Structure 1
């Protein structure tokens, strides 16, 4: 049920954003609302609480967001709340942001390395990813995991490229085990 809700609402709002010619503006506003809901889980809990009336929930939404958002974005939040789908706000926002990234050819990559990468190395990784994909820019997230021993692991959406020393050692161990079993 959740995936259908995410897709339906995010697609409708994405189309509205394009038609209004305000995709960038609305994207930033959606990011802001998403950040508030993630940073203030008590607020999200109140919006989802079954013993709080819809009217009280609408008042909370109005108090928090009406003056900070464009009428279209605030109206979208109201529609989702009126349809009693507020428990899916984060998923809807994530689906919307994914549509924006796809539309603008913005990739997302998670890079895990054994040591902290320098700025030059980070730029080199992004440059290489841009060369091998259709994207024009990447939102990069870098992490350090010393257990990799060396090299790096890169995840782009559902694709993982593991060039870590740890993976190569594990692969060699599997091959050696196969030889011993034969």
Structure 2
């Protein structure tokens, strides 16, 4: 069974538990914190997946590292993955869980690439405009600065990309000129 399939199963099970206990948003926030720690400190995953470190030491390290930031379901999930030597699926599991949590609330995440940081008002306008296009009630906008865009915006919602960047327009013109259609 592929790692992604296993991650999806764990995410769906955790999602059901979170819905039953009515802690969907809290659990999602906690898991995003775990994901940030994993992405910023690769040594964390190396330690908790090291075969010579005993499981109880790994669990104590996890509890000490996160302190009160994680609730019981989050801690038990990480303990379970450490125990079953499945820490490699933690990030895909968290991503799947976030998608399930957002879908349950009729929300979606939008990555907005721009040449310079967007103002909060601009993010809100983008969220309102593209929420309708995505068929969602609300969008969570995450701004990513990409100076290669030159200007304009590139928006990714799920597997859809809306590219209104200057770079994309210049690339289209270049292809048209090369093909001789203009």
**Higher Rg of the two aligned structures:** 1
Which residue of 2 is the match for residue 151 of structure 1?
Answer: 152
**Structure 1 Cα separation of the partners of residues 35 and 136 of structure 2:** 24
Query: Aligned pair count?
Result: 180
Which residue of 1 is the match for residue 54 of structure 2?
Answer: 53
Instruction: Structure 1: give runs of 5+ residues left out of the alignment.
Output: none
How big is the shift at 1:68? 4.3
TM-score where L is the length of structure 2: 0.83
- 1:96-136 Cα offsets, whole Å, 9 max, x none, are 11211121122111222345444433322222112222222
Matches within 5 A, 1:58-77: 58-65=59-66, 67-77=68-78
Which residue of 1 is the match for residue 103 of structure 2?
Answer: 102
TM-score where L is the length of structure 1: 0.83
Which residue of 1 is the match for residue 91 of structure 2?
Answer: 90
Moved more, 16-25 or 6-15: 16-25
How big is the shift at 1:151? 2.3
Matched, 1:15 2:16: yes
Instruction: Structure 2: give runs of 5+ residues left out of the alignment.
Output: none
Contact 1:66 1:74 in 2 (8 A): no
RMSD: 2.4
- 1:74-116 Cα offsets, whole Å, 9 max, x none, are 2222222222212222222222112111211221112223454
How big is the shift at 1:172? 2.1
